[in-house]
A and B are shown apart, each in its own frame.
Chain A
Amino acid sequence: MVSSPGECDVRQHLGDAMSRVARQLQEEHGDVEGTLRAITASAVATVPHAMECGISYVIGRHRVEPRASSGDLPRQVDELQSRLGQGPCLDAVWEQEVVRVDDVGADERWPEFAREAAALGVGSMMCFQLFVSGDQLGAMNLYSAAAGAFDDESEQIGLMLAGHAAVALAGAEHEQELRRAVDSRDLIGQAKGILMERYKLTADQAFGVLARVSQETNRKLADIAVELSETGAVPGAAQRRG
């Protein structure tokens, strides 16, 4: 790292920001959305010239879904990228860890995005890749009203915050996945019980019925189970022919 007059200040700044994030993380107590929101707020407070910050999922290179945001602007820019099918989150950030757009209005890579984002008041922006998993990507985006607002120092601070955001998102994914797996087992178990009682089936036969309906209707086993538990009827039974 090149030493500069501001380096000491940067470190001091970073140290403060990190302890603030840590404190907020503790206060939010595991609430992932809260953690992500805290990170966006810290980014705005810490990264020089950052005006807004958003953390988003990019799905299949065509949809940008906001997860947490310091204000309205990040959500509007996400929506813009989804609608236009172009912008830094949809291509550049898949290949690079950080994408810096110094003059959004003049950027020729995404002409329509450039025009509309500038109209929303975005002068410059930085996108940080948080993770890539299959066709999903996590991104943290920083915005400033002025062109050329971000430099190497802002990028360095942004990278550290992006690290925290990536950890928080990974935790959220893990929890969701566990919850889904357990929920679907519970529901399938309960649906089996309903079928066993009503049609005098064994557990294996009941599972067979669910599996067959799932196959015939091309729907997930857990979805069939939910519907059965809620309505008491085997989904798709009425539509089945012959």
Chain B
Amino acid sequence: MTVVEEFRVALAASALDLTGPELLPERLARVCARVLPVDGAGIALFFADDRRLPVGASDATSSIAERLQFTAGEGPCLSAHAEGRPLVADEATIRTRWPVFHDGLVTRTPIRGTISLPLEDALRGIGALDLYTVPPNDVTRLGLADALAVSTEVTSVLRAEGRTSRGTDGGPAWLDAPAAERRSTVWQALGFLNAGLGVSSADALALLRAHAYTSGEDLDRLARRVVDREIPLDHLALDHDSSA
């Protein structure tokens, strides 16, 4: 069986476990991790700078890796997206190019290698497939041709399903993925800072990132605490030594 055939068989089988249309990206991520020689996978969308939207991950560790990268505001997936080309990074590369992301990654996950693939066709410029490896596995085992074939499948399944099953307030049903819901708390927290501190969205995100970095928590969790009013807003401003 080719990797694409394996992908299709595994995807069909996974429909039994994860049935909801909003869980499609998670199913796809699991299937990617299963048919490719990697240990985890995640699918994300990018629309504006800094507005990275995770829609599905194969497992908890892959979700953590995505959140770490979003928190750090740097990393292989962000660079691959910015450069519009696949990016394969072993641990040495990650440490050199994205030191903040590397710190979090080695502290909080066993992941030591990443393969980031911008999605093509209907999701070109928007979608990304991120693959993760854990030692003794490493990034050299994955053939880029297989990875690209699988990423093409991911795009066409998302495209086809997006047409047939519609979500709340327009858009495909798979946009209602739980991971995307979690990330939306960050946009709410930006609104909190807009209103409470009178700062722009870009500054609000920078303040949240700075606080997350010093407190060692991820941005999604910090946002949740801000929205739940567990953190006084002036703490966020003071942390940044801001004059605002």
Contacts and interface: CB of A to CB of B under 8 A. Distances in A.
Interface in B98-155: 121-126
Contacts of A193: 187-195, 227
A67 to B, nearest CB: 18
Interface residues of B, number: 36
B159 interface: yes
Interface stretch (B20-28, B45-53, B73-81, B88-96): B45-53
Given A191-B191, A203-B188, A185 B84 contact: no
B190 A182 contact: no
B191 A30 contact: no
Given A190-B188, A193-B187, A232 B122 contact: no
B191 A184 contact: no
B192 A178 contact: no
Interface string A197-239: 1100001000000000000000001000000010010000000
B170 A184 contact: yes
Given A174-B162, A175-B122, A179-B126, A189 B169 contact: no
Contact of B191 (A180, A181, A192): A192
B216 interface: no
Given A171-B122, A196-B227, A181 B194 contact: no
Contacts of B196: 197-198
A185 B195 CA distance: 19
A178 B172 CA distance: 8
Contacts of B201: 190, 229
Contact of A189 (B122, B123, B175, B191): B191
B188 A182 contact: no
Interface residues of A, number: 30
A179 to B, nearest CB: 6
A174 B159 contact: yes
A127 B171 CA distance: 31
B63 interface: no
B169 A181 contact: yes
Given A29-B84, A30-B124, A174-B122, A182 B171 contact: yes
Given A174-B159, A175-B122, A194 B192 contact: yes
A190 B201 CA distance: 9
A177 B235 CA distance: 39
Interface in B37-63: 45, 47-48, 51, 53
A192 B181 CA distance: 14
Interface string B182-220: 001101111111111000010000000000000000000
A91 B130 CA distance: 48
Nearest to B120: A30
Nearest to A222: B169
A80 B113 CA distance: 59
A194 B195 contact: yes
Contacts of B125: 30, 175
Contacts of B159: 174
B229 to A, nearest CB: 9
22 contacts: A29-B124, A171-B121, A174-B122, A174-B162, A175-B126, A181-B170, A182-B53, A182-B175, A185-B175, A186-B51, A186-B184, A189-B187, A190-B191, A191-B191, A193-B188, A193-B195, A194-B192, A197-B195, A221-B169, A229-B191, A229-B201, A232-B194
